[in-house]
Amino acid sequence: MKHDLVIRNGRIVDGTGGRTYEGDVAVRGDTITGLGEVPEQGVREIDAAGAAITPGFIDTHTHLDGQIGWDPQLTPASWHGVTTVLMGNCGVTFAPVRGDDRERLAEMMESVEDIPRHAILSGLPWDWSSYGEYLDSITRKRPALNVAGLVGHATARFYVMGERAIDEQPTEDEIQELARLVGRSVKEGAVGFSTSRIEAHRIPDGRCIPGTFAGEQELVAISRAVGAEGGMLQSVINSGERDLPGELTLMRKQLEAARTRLLFSAPWTPGEGGKSAYQNEINNMRNAGLEIWGTTQPRAAGFLSGLQTNMLFGIRLKGPAWRNLRDLDVDGRLNAIRDKDFRSRLIEEGRQMESADGIWQSIESSKYSIPTRRSFWMGGDRQPHYEAGADQSLGHLAEQAGEHPAETWLRLMDESDGRGLFHIRFVNEDLAVLPDFMREDWIVPGVGDAGAHCGVISDVGWATFVLSYWHRDSGVYSLEEAVHMLTEKQARVLGLKDRGVLALGQKADINVIDVDRVSECQPERVNDFPGGAARLIQRGVGYRCTVVNGEVILENDELTGGQSGVILRNRGGVIS
pLDDT tens-digit map of 290-316? 999 999 999 999 999 999 999 999 866
Is residue 403 domain-shared with residue 441, that is, in the same domain? no
Q: Which of 503, 396, 420 is nearest to 35 (CA)?
A: 503
Please state whether the peptide bond connecting residue 210 to the residue before it is cis, i.e. omega within 30 degrees of 0: no
Identify the pLDDT of residue 532.
Answer: 95
The DSSP H or E segment spanning 23 is: strand 21-28
In a domain, 538, yes or no: no
The per-residue pLDDT for range 129-147, each reduced to its tens digit, is: 999 999 999 999 999 999 9
Categorize the per-residue pLDDT at 192 as very low, low, confident or very high, splitting at 50, 70 and 90: very high
Q: Are 118 and 531 in contact (CB under 8 A)?
A: yes
Is residue 418 domain-shared with residue 274, that is, in the same domain? no
In a domain, 132, yes or no: yes
Q: What percent of the chain clears pLDDT 70, i.e. is strictly above it?
A: 97
Identify the pLDDT of residue 242.
Answer: 83
Q: Kindly report the length of the chain.
A: 576
3-state secondary structure string across 159-186: HHHHHHHCCCCCCHHHHHHHHHHHHHHH
Categorize the per-residue pLDDT at 360 as very low, low, confident or very high, splitting at 50, 70 and 90: very low
Q: Are 512 and 46 in contact (CB under 8 A)?
A: yes
In a domain, 157, yes or no: yes
Is residue 257 domain-shared with residue 118, that is, in the same domain? yes
Categorize the per-residue pLDDT at 363 as very low, low, confident or very high, splitting at 50, 70 and 90: very low
In a domain, 488, yes or no: yes
DSSP conformation class of 4: E
Is residue 75 domain-shared with residue 215, that is, in the same domain? yes
The predicted model gives 251-269 an average pLDDT of 98
Q: What is the Rg, in whole angstroms, of the alpha carbon atoms belonging to the chain?
A: 23
Name the pTM for this structure.
0.96
- CA gap 454, 442 in Å, rounded: 30
Residue 313, Cβ density class (10 Å: 0-12 exposed, 13-18 middle, ≥19 buried): buried
Using the CB atoms, write b or e for 158-192: b if 16+ within 10 Å. Answer: bbbbeeebbeeebeeebbebbbebbbbbbbbbbbb
In a domain, 285, yes or no: yes
Q: Which of 495, 556, 494, 479 is nearest to 14 (CA)?
A: 479
DSSP conformation class of 231: -
The predicted model gives 71-84 an average pLDDT of 98
Identify the pLDDT of residue 358.
Answer: 55
Categorize the per-residue pLDDT at 181 as very low, low, confident or very high, splitting at 50, 70 and 90: very high
Is residue 348 domain-shared with residue 367, that is, in the same domain? yes
The DSSP H or E segment spanning 469 is: none
- Count of C-beta atoms within a 10 Å radius of residue 59: 29
Identify the pLDDT of residue 319.
Answer: 83
The single-letter code of the amino acid at 73 is Q
Is residue 136 domain-shared with residue 256, that is, in the same domain? yes
Is residue 338 domain-shared with residue 252, that is, in the same domain? no
Identify the pLDDT of residue 314.
Answer: 82
In a domain, 509, yes or no: no
The per-residue pLDDT for range 486-499, each reduced to its tens digit, is: 999 999 999 999 99
Is residue 326 domain-shared with residue 386, that is, in the same domain? yes
Is residue 98 domain-shared with residue 171, that is, in the same domain? yes
Residue 201, pLDDT above cutoff 50: yes
Q: Are 550 and 27 in contact (CB under 8 A)?
A: yes
The per-residue pLDDT for range 474-490, each reduced to its tens digit, is: 999 999 999 999 999 99
Residue 366, pLDDT above cutoff 90: no
Q: Which residues contact 30 (CB under 8 A, 6 or more apart)?
A: 507, 508, 549, 550, 564
**Distance between terminal CA atoms of the chain?**
27
Categorize the per-residue pLDDT at 241 as very low, low, confident or very high, splitting at 50, 70 and 90: confident
- CA gap 66, 102 in Å, rounded: 12
The predicted model gives 4-12 an average pLDDT of 98
Residue 361, pLDDT above cutoff 80: no
3-state secondary structure string across 489-543: HHHHHHCCCCCCCCCCCCECCEEEECCCCCEECCCEEECCCHHHCCEEECCEECE
Q: Which of 26, 68, 32 is nearest to 549 (CA)?
A: 32
Query: In Å, how far from its chain's centre is CA 215?
Result: 27
Is residue 309 domain-shared with residue 225, that is, in the same domain? no
Residue 365, pLDDT above cutoff 60: no
- CA gap 476, 470 in Å, rounded: 5
- CA gap 223, 88 in Å, rounded: 16
Is residue 203 domain-shared with residue 288, that is, in the same domain? yes
Q: Give the domain CATH number at 490.
A: 3.20.20.140
Average pLDDT of every residue of the chain: 95
The predicted model gives 180-193 an average pLDDT of 98
In a domain, 364, yes or no: yes
Residue 353, pLDDT above cutoff 90: no
- CA gap 312, 456 in Å, rounded: 10
Is residue 155 domain-shared with residue 268, that is, in the same domain? yes
The predicted model gives 257-275 an average pLDDT of 96
- CA gap 189, 195 in Å, rounded: 18
In a domain, 290, yes or no: yes
Domain carrying residue 345: 302-427
The per-residue pLDDT for range 408-433, each reduced to its tens digit, is: 999 999 999 999 999 999 999 999 99
Total structural domains in the chain? 2
